[in-house]
């Protein structure tokens, strides 16, 4: 197993973050400081340390959570803000979220200590679709749907929905593969529309379903394998 993969599976950081730790010379294997990428290790035989702290593989945890509005997707609290990890048992507060939903958005988000799953869901090349339900407070006409699918410019970025369709009376659905910062809100603002509610209801083949706001559940084995073993998308 490559060292950066070991560190991500141990819950230390994402794969990219682990590469940064190695580059900084903070990782030792059998008392030798490693500064190059791609070194292979044996998790059962090698002694691996980060900042002089022994690192071991942890049980992999996969959670689906229905994020309520008003919570921030961060493990670091700023002042009195509510963070996603307030909704989890204390022993799981080391998990990191896969992607983000902004403070005013709600819905399905995954938390894990598995760097492979994080990469497979978040990197655009794996084409994992995320679906959102948006309420804008008025009837959605065909021109809005068409513009979302054609794309719009906003602050030097080309923003485009993979798919969009109206949900009467005042809503629409949008599917994205590459979710940029506040992308849906920015697209709709560029078209003169104001988002009243934004909820993510699907990631790949996993649906929000009956999960209540603030509640979480474990992803089952088939759900996890759908992301790790094959390109995820529509069922």
The residues carrying an active-site annotation are 102
CA pseudo-torsion sign 73, 74, 78, 79: positive
Q: Distance between CA atoms of 82 and 96, rounded to whole angstroms?
A: 16
216 contacts 223 by C-beta, under 8 angstroms: no
If residue 118 lies in a helix (H) or strand (E), which one and from where to where? helix 115-122
In angstroms and rounded to an integer, the radius of gyration of the C-alpha atoms of the chain is 20
Q: Distance between CA atoms of 188 and 195, rounded to whole angstroms?
A: 7
Listed residue (91, 115, 90) closest to 10, CA to CA: 115
Q: Distance between CA atoms of 214 and 194, rounded to whole angstroms?
A: 25
Q: Distance between CA atoms of 225 and 63, rounded to whole angstroms?
A: 14
CA pseudo-torsion sign 199, 205, 210, 213: negative
Q: Whole-angstrom distance between the N-terminal and C-terminal Cα of the chain?
A: 32
């Amino acid at each position: 197993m490559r060292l950066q993969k070991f560190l991500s599976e141990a819950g230390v950081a994402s794969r990219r973050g682990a590469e940064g730790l190695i580059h900084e010379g903070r990782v030792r294997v059998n008392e030798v400081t490693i500064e190059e990428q791609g070194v292979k290790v044996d998790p059962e035989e090698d002694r691996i340390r980060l900042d002089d702290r022994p690192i071991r593989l942890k049980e992999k945890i996969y959670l689906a959570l229905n994020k309520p509005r008003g919570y921030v997707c961060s493990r670091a609290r700023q002042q009195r803000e509510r963070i996603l990890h307030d909704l989890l048992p204390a022993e799981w507060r080391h998990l990191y979220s896969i992607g983000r939903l902004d403070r005013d958005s709600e819905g399905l988000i995954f938390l894990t200590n598995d760097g492979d799953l994080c990469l497979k869901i978040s990197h655009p090349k794996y084409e994992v679709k995320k679906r959102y339900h948006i309420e804008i407070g008025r009837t959605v006409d065909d021109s809005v749907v068409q513009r979302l699918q054609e794309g719009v410019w906003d602050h030097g970025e080309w923003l485009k929905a993979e798919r969009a369709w109206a949900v009467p009376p005042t809503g629409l659905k949008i599917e994205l593969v590459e979710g940029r910062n506040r992308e849906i809100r920015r697209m709709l603002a560029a078209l003169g529309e104001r988002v009243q509610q934004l909820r993510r209801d699907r990631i790949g083949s996993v649906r929000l379903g009956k999960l209540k706001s603030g509640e979480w559940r474990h992803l089952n084995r088939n759900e996890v394998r759908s992301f790790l073993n094959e390109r995820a998308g529509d069922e």
